[in-house]
Each structure stands twice: as C-alpha cells, then as structure tokens.
Chains A and B, each alone.
Chain A
Amino acid sequence: MNAREEIFSRIRTALADVTEPDPALDVPIEWVYQRPTPMADVLDRFVETVEDYKALVVRVPAAEVPTRVATLLRGAEVSSVVLPAGIDPTWRTAIVAAGIEVREDDPPLDRMELNEIDAVVTAAAVGVAETGTIILDHAADQGRRALTLVPDTHLVVVRADQVVSDVPEAVGRLGASVAAGSPLTWISGPSATSDIELSRVEGVHGPRKLLVILAE
C-alpha cells in the first residue's frame, strides 16, 4: 500500500464504530450560518474596533476620498506609493497632484523593489464591524498579496456598503471570491506581536501603519 491508501485504510478501521454514512444525519449541526450580530450602528462599531487596534480611521463622504487619500499619505510622510492596476483613477490623480511618486505594478515589481516603496493604497472587499477587520479578496482594485504586505504603510479605503456586522455575514459575502480561487487577506490593525512578556507591540513584519478611510 502507498501512504495515501494506508492512511485511508487506517481511518476506515479507526472509524469502525461510525455506522451512519451520511455526515449530516450522523452529526447534526444546529448552528444557523450567516446570521448578523445585532448592534446599534454598524459603522460606528467598525470605527471603534478598528481604532482599538491603533489604526487611524477617518470617515469621509465618498466625493472627498481622493483628496483625503492624498492628505493622509502626506501626513504619514510617504514619498512613494504603489498602486494596484484597478484602483480608482481619481485617487491616482490626487496622489500624483500631491507630489508623491507613484509606482505601477505592471510589469510586477520584484520584492526588492517593493521593499523600497513607502506605501500602498488599495480598496477592500469587506469590513467587519464587530472585529474591526478589513478583508481583501485581491480583486484588481486591491492588487496581488505582496503589494499590501511589503511597504510599511497601507492606506485602505472601505466603502460604507462593504461594512457588515460580524464575521458570519462577511464569510457569506466572500463565498464567491473563494469559489473563484481568489486568496483572502484579513487585516485587523497593523501587524503586531505579544510574544515578549505578552506586551503588545504594533508593527513587526507587515505594514506598521494602517490608515483606513471609511467612505460614506
């Protein structure tokens, strides 16, 4: 027997006591999936929980997003930024107008080049109010995974209609992306560690600064 066959054979022997072949009949699951979590105001809660991770959050009317993208980047003393190919062109225009160097990822930048760039600006797929999580499904307006990882500052724009109450609703919204083979990155604040005496330090390998614009 090869390893695969042997492991399957061991499993079947080990489960000799299981007589019901249908998993759903054998072990019923009472849980109701994709239920929203009740909360007073989803957007308020989102802002509160994201801020809890020491990320900067600003609430902005949709029309003002391009200007705020540029001012936030300048405020963070960013001099170069990489933009995913599908980003809103008005953001790009505002960033260029602010005198910040824009690098395109086409052809793809190698990791050494990415390491020299200060910041990345992306859209998002879903925001989760209860946990302060921003989820990327790496569509064209978010770019491939390395873009939002190597530069030290990540500015992400989340639309109000993308924010859901809690994780169950979020997973529900992301089903199609996963089925299509897209990777997901769930981001809850800047990178952090509590590995030394459980003392939380924001900023290790991932972006040390997370700037969030909530576009309403």
Chain B
Amino acid sequence: MTAEPQARRTPAPSSTYLGMPKFQKNAKAKLDDPQLRKNLRYATTTIRAKRAERVAEVADWEELRQAGEAIKTRTLRHLDTYLAQLEESLTRNGATVHWARDAAEANQIVIGLVQAKGVDEVVKVKSMATQEIDLNEALEQAGIAAWETDLAELIVQLGHDRPSHILVPAIHRNRAEVREIFLREMKQYGTPAPEDVSDSPAELAGAARRHLREKFLRAKVGISGANFAIAETGSLVVVESEGNGRMCLTLPETLISVVGIEKVLPTIADLEVFTRLLPRSSTGERMNPYTSLWTGVTPGDGPQEVHVVLVDNGRTKVLSDPIGRAALRCIRCSACLNICPVYERVGGHAYGSVYPGPIGAILGPQLRGIETELDKSLPYASSLCGACGDVCPVRIPIPDILVHLRHKVAQTKHVPKLEPTAIALAGWALSDYRNLQFLERFSTLAGKTLSSRSHLGALPWPASPWTNARDLPVPAQESFRQWWKNSHKEGER
C-alpha cells in the first residue's frame, strides 16, 4: 500500500476473529457475564416460542422440510449444472457475473467495481457472505465507507462490535446499551440521534431511520447478498424486514450482490418451499415484511448496473465431504442458534466466527479447514442434545455432522494430550467383556471401601472437571454382571 495512513471512515470493530482461542475459553468468559446471560436467555426463549407457534400453523410442515432438503440436495449434487445455468440467465438479463475463489478475490472485485464508479461510500444490506469475507474492512482499507443499514448491523457497527447471531446480530445488547451507542456514535458518522431519545425500541428505530435516510438518498452503489439465486430465471431474492434492503436494492444506480455459490435454487417454483420455511423458522413470522426479487437489470426501475459476485471461499471444500456437505443446505434462518442450550448460555461471540451456534460449529471448521485450536474445538461445542436437527428447516443432521467432524479432529495430531491414551484404555476395557469383568473387581472394591457414602465431593485432576461443581456417585459394591452370575448359576446365559 502506498497510500498515506488516513483516518477511518467507519467505526473500527473492536476485535478480529483471527487467533480466537478455543471455544471452551471463550465460553467461560461469556458465562461470567450476567447481563449477557440475561439478554440471551430472554431473546432465545422469546423467539423459540414464536417459531413454535408459527410452525404449528402449517399442517404439512414435515413434508415442507423434506421438500426443502430434497431441493437443496439436488442442487448441491449438481451444483456445476445449476451455476452454469444461473450465470447464463443472469447474463441474458443484463447482469455481469464475477467469480471469486476466496475472500480476497471477492473483496478485490467489489473494490474495483466501487472504485470504477468513482465513489467513496456504499450502503449495505445485511449479508452473511460479505461478513464472512470481511468486506467492510477491505473497503475501509481502500478508503471506501460501507454503511450497514440493518438496524442490528448498525448497532454492531456503531458499537465497534462484532455480530453474535445470524439473524439478530445485536442480540447480546439491551435497549439501554443501544441508546448509549446511538447517542455517542451517530453524530460522528452522520445525522445524530436526538439528544432526548429514550430507550424505547420504537424511538431507537426512529433514530436509525433518520440517521440512515440521508445515506439512502445519497448512495450511488448498494451492496447486498442474496438468500436465493434462481438458476432458471437469473433472479436474486433478498428477504428482510425493515425496508433497508429495498432501499439498497432499489435506489442506487449500481448494485453489487455477493452470493455464495451454494445459494442457487433450480427454479422459480422452488421459492414456494423456501419462502414458507424461512420466515417461520427464523423470525417466527408467517412472512417477513419484505421480500425483493429482481432479475438482472429492469429498464427504468432500480439499478441500471447490476453485478453478481459468486463466491467459493471454502464451499467446494465442504462440498467434497459427502457427509459434511449437508451443511451447505443451510438457509441462515438461525433456528438452530435459538434452540441451542449451549448458544443460549454463551452467545455467538464464543464461536469466534460470523457463523455461530450449531450451524457455525459444523460450517465454520469445514469452510476454513480443521486447523486452528478454535476450529478443532467447535465440533465439541455441543451436548449433542439434537434440538438443532429437529428445528432445521432443511433437515441438516447437525448432531451427526458434529460427530463426523469430531472424528476428523481426533485423527489430527493436536487433540488433548492424554485423550488418546484414555480412549485406548477405555477401549481396551470395553472391547471384550472379560476385560470389563476384570476391571469390575476394582470398581466394586472401591464401592465397598467407600461404602459409608453415596457420593464423592471435589477431587483432584483428572476427576476435577467433573467434581468441581458436581458430586460423583461411588461405584456399586456388586456389579450387575456379578449379581447376575451369582443369582443365575444353573446354566443360564
């Protein structure tokens, strides 16, 4: 870079995901934050109840999930066919298609397109793909201000923060915190928040409306992602609530959509399945307030220059694992986050990436590769309770994929030091009943020695992870096997 260091255009995020420690460490820090626990508990229980109510209204919900699964599976197993068709349809309708192998390439394409328009700011619709490639920071480095326009993303951006949820990125903030952020930050980047703004969500939303309106009316370039890309027609679809998406998709002269290659759907008819699955699963609404569909350039309506950047960034790696590839069916609804008892207690930041929760624990390590301490810990960030798999609208077997990835982690060199030894010992003990029978002599001896008590309290390592907070029952004085043999002697098995 030859440019002089210059002042930032947008609020700097507080931290980076790079080099995040493993999940256990992050989780412990989050568990110690009572305000966070309270915010998360309230939010997740509320949204769970809403989802359950709206899903119960749909008589054919299970059939609908199966349809969603089948359509996505078909698409992924023939992704090259559908992507070629998508590209052809987009081009035919006046859009320009770009391909990006990785985040750096995608960012470079977007920066080039924005610079070619001679502007130094863009308005953005909430998009997981652009978060994943950290587009905002790449634009900032290039001297381009990217304004997030979704209310929650605005709270995160102005709060020098990172998103902690796919759908409600500021779920970890309460209204008082939001008010403080708006009062402090809005005036530095545009229309200030009214001095007397209260902490009512309605007033805070009003402040966001005023703050962003001038940016919408001024922006020459809009940047979006897409929830769905229809191969047959070349249509992109964005699902949203506030109208900020419509603003970004409609008012600027140029629209750049950054879309993961797995977002393609074969036909327009398939929309009937996904527009029923998504809102009920994510916000717990029958339908989200706004869904926009556009097909390349519409003469006289909206952006007259339309670009679509199709991004791989690890997706083909995920695709190459026949079991793990089901994670690419994800439609980013967040139902698995909201239902997850682990997510509820630690929040999204503990997962150390833009994809938190159960889906993040299977998608992140696959997209990035199982290399860092964090990515090796994520598949274990689950009690395997299975609630995520039950609510997933496209039936991703999240618990099975977690186990599958644990198997991959266990094959790497850097598992906890004594784990393979412990597993080998237990494996020996349980590989043959005679070994187990032999060991039961010791367990029952311990049971007899400790017969005055039912439980043991705090013990030193290696029992300490259990006994720091939980008592441990003492083993039985007679194993079931011993009892059976003693009481069923006469030739019974």
Complex: A94 Cα to B302 Cα, angstroms? 30
**CB nearest to A210 among chain B residues:** B289
Bound Cα distance from A27 to B151, whole angstroms: 40
Q: Is the CB of B247 within 8 A of A29?
A: no
- Tell me which residues across on chain A come within 8 A of B292, comparing CB atoms: 145, 183-186
CB-CB under 8 A for A191 and B301, given A196-B151, A204-B208? no
Contact (Cβ within 8 A) A29 B74 = yes
Contact of A23 among B47, B81, B155 (CB under 8 A): B81
A195/B168 in contact, CB under 8 A:
yes
By a CB distance below 8 angstroms, the chain B residues around A8 are: 80, 83-84
Q: Does B151 contact A130, Cβ atoms closer than 8 Å?
A: no
Beta-carbon contact of B290 and A144 below 8 Å? no
Known A-B contacts A17-B322, A128-B287; the reply to A7 vs B101 at CB < 8 A is: yes
Q: Is the CB of A196 within 8 A of B170?
A: yes
In the assembled complex, the Cα of A128 lies from the Cα of B285 at a distance in Å of 14
Q: What count of chain A residues pass the 8 Å CB interface test?
A: 78
**Top 6 closest A-B pairs, CB basis?**
A206-B243, A31-B67, A14-B320, A27-B74, A205-B243, A10-B316
Collect the chain A residues with CB atoms within 8 Å of residue B325's CB: 14
A204 & B242 in contact (Cβ 8 Å cutoff): yes
CA gap between A172 and B310 in the complex, in Å: 28
Q: Which residues of A contact B93 (CB under 8 A)?
A: 181
**A167 on interface, CB distance cutoff 8 Å:** yes
Once the chains bind, are A30 and B201 in contact (CB under 8 Å)? Answer: no
Distance between Cα atoms of A119 and B73 in the complex (Å): 45
Residue B455 at the chain A interface, CB threshold 8 Å = no
Contacts of B202 on A, CB cut-off 8 Å?
Answer: 201, 203
Which residues of B are interface residues toward A (Cβ below 8 A)? 39, 42-43, 46-47, 59, 63-64, 66-67, 70-71, 73-75, 77-84, 93, 98-101, 105, 149-152, 155, 168, 170-171, 173-175, 178, 201-202, 204-206, 208-209, 212-213, 216-217, 230, 233, 235, 241-244, 246-247, 249-251, 261, 266, 268-269, 271-273, 275-276, 283, 285-296, 298, 300-302, 310, 312, 316-317, 319-320, 322, 325
In the bound assembly, the distance between CA atoms of A112 and B219 in angstroms comes to 12
| Residue in chain B with minimal CB distance to A204 | B242
Contact: B71 with A29, CB < 8 Å? yes
CB contacts under 8 Å to B, within A10-66, are 10-15, 17-18, 23-24, 26-31, 33-34, 37, 49, 52-53
Partner of A14, one of B83, B151, B204, B316: B316
Residue of B nearest to A115 (CB): B217
Q: Which residues of B contact A75 (CB under 8 A)?
A: none
Quick one: which of B173, B205, B301 contacts A183, CB cutoff 8 A?
B301
Which of B63, B99, B212, B319 sits near A3, CB closer than 8 Å?
A: B99
Asked if B244 and A197 make an inter-chain contact with CB atoms under 8 angstroms apart, the answer reads no
Question: Is A197 touching B201 in the complex (CB atoms < 8 A)?
Answer: yes
Say whether, besides A144-B301, A188-B285, A203-B205, A3 and B101 are in contact (CB < 8 Å).
yes
Q: Which residues of A contact B105 (CB under 8 A)?
A: 3
B255, chain A: closest CB distance, angstroms: 12
The residue that A26 contacts in the complex, of B43, B77, B168, with Cβ under 8 A, is: B77
- In whole angstroms, how far apart are the Cα atoms of A170 and B276 in the complex? 12
Centre residue among A7, A149, A203 by max chain B CB count within 10 A = A7
- Of B63, B268, B285, the residue contacting A178 (CB under 8 A) is B268
